[in-house]
Amino acid sequence: MMTSEDPKEWHRRTWRIALPVMITNISVPILGIVDTAVVGRLPGPEFVGAVAVGALIFSMLYHGCNFLRMGTTGLTAQSFGAKDGSEVRTWLVRALFLGAVIGILMIAAQWVIFETSTLIIGPSEKVRPLTEEYFYIRIWGAPASLANYALLGWFFGVQNTRAALITQIFMNGMNVILDFWFVMGLGWGVAGVAWATLISEISAVALGLIFAAQHLNKLGGRFKRADIMQAAPLKRMLSVNRDIFIRSMCLQTVFIVLTSIGARMGDTVLAANAILLHIQIFTSHALDGFAMAAEALAGEAKGAKSRKRFDAAVRASSIWSLIVAVFLCIATALLGGAVIDLLTTQESVRAVARQYLIWSVFLPLLSVWSYQLDGIFIGCTWSREMRNSMILSLTAYLIALAALVPVFGNHGLWAGLAVLMVARTITMGWMLPRLQKTIGT
């Protein structure tokens, strides 16, 4: 029987959750890297730019709805820690229903979304028509993409990382295969990348629902139809999701601004920044494995009202986060140039990307604490404090850009991202002792 004082067991529990999550998460940016590598072999940087801009639009849409993953994990983990099987079941239904509604609304508003997004980002005349082709295919997968978010959040909340891993590997593996077939084999270009994503997202939802049904058969409790639309938990869910939505939109604003300013520096800088962002996203997804371990274990500890278990979960996941962040810094320094060459054959893009690679080397060490604190706050559903931290950090980011970009150009753009990560760490770190005091009371 595990005791809350056994540090070795907490390290094992952290890895049992973090490792499958890391593999799951890493498969996402690998997919983006494959998308870039496939179109990077087409003539001209505009193809890489089009996929980068199109992916950014969907990142803004879907990550703005990341509350379906984050909020579901925290709420489910707390019910799981309290051993309330009926409520664990109900959180899944609520999340899937909310995702379906939002996805349908996105499809209905697709013209407005595209025109507004391209107006903000400002792609060149060569990039825009290719982005349009990509967007109007992929938008039809919105309900499936958001259902995947809900399923992942629920799987993490009940600590069924195996189902999450298999579902994501299946989706991204199918996407990679279809990428090569549609783009390199059939010559569909940017449209082929969009079709590959659409088909793989829908297939993954079907598989995820099968795994969820299997897990529900083993779970205690039962569905209570009247509880699904009960006012109090719905109000709590919407409150948590509102705050995470605001936080996520602030974060997406950061990447929209980064891409938009880079696009105005030329197609070559846009493509180079897209490649460097893939490296940054790859490292952040790897580190998110430990953040999600903290999320699930901290949420379980809060549900069980155990301060000792909370402290043990935070300590073990944070130690491993730091170790992996240092490893990622070293790996990026050694392999970053090779990754750039792999992602594009355009010599001008390669040269520009190498000029700014130094930021990708050090960002994991600057970012790791903000990811870790995010996980702790989400697991404990301290979404309001996380929201406030992101608003303050976004303000610091915009001030930094105004001061640095006119002087240092694209270096200033990446320095602003570093300022954002440090600001998130400082603001949430200041709030953490107050959160600790609420556990077990």
Q: What is the pLDDT along the chain (441 residues), one digit of tens a residue?
A: 344 556 778 888 888 888 877 776 666 556 666 766 777 666 666 677 777 777 778 877 777 777 777 778 877 877 777 776 777 888 888 889 888 999 999 999 989 988 888 787 777 777 788 888 888 888 898 999 899 989 988 888 888 888 888 998 898 889 888 988 988 788 787 888 889 889 998 999 999 999 998 888 777 656 666 666 666 666 777 777 788 888 888 888 898 888 888 888 888 888 888 889 888 888 888 888 888 888 888 888 887 788 888 888 889 989 999 999 999 999 999 998 998 888 777 888 899 999 999 999 999 999 999 999 998 998 888 888 999 999 999 999 999 999 999 999 999 999 999 999 999 999 999 999 998 888 875
Return left, alpha or beta for 223; rule: phi > 0 is left, psi -120 to 50 is alpha, else beta. beta
Return left, alpha or beta for 189; rule: phi > 0 is left, psi -120 to 50 is alpha, else beta. left
Find the radius of gyration of the CA atoms of the chain: 21
CB of 121 closer than 8 Å to CB of 263: yes
Looking up tokens 């600790």 gives: 436
User: Could you give the CA distance from residue 182 to residue 26 in angstroms, rounded to a whole number?
Assistant: 23
In sequence order, which residues have a C-beta less than 8 Å from that of residue 434 and are 6 or more positions away?
none
CB of 314 closer than 8 Å to CB of 10: no
Domain coordinates of the chain in residue numbers? 7-438
- CA separation (Å) from 330 to 275, 279, 336? 18, 13, 10
Can you read off the two tokens belonging to residue 174? 């199918």
CB of 150 closer than 8 Å to CB of 204: no
- CA separation (Å) from 432 to 142, 175, 386, 429? 35, 40, 10, 5
Q: Which of 172, 154, 171, 169 is nearest to 214 (CA)?
A: 154
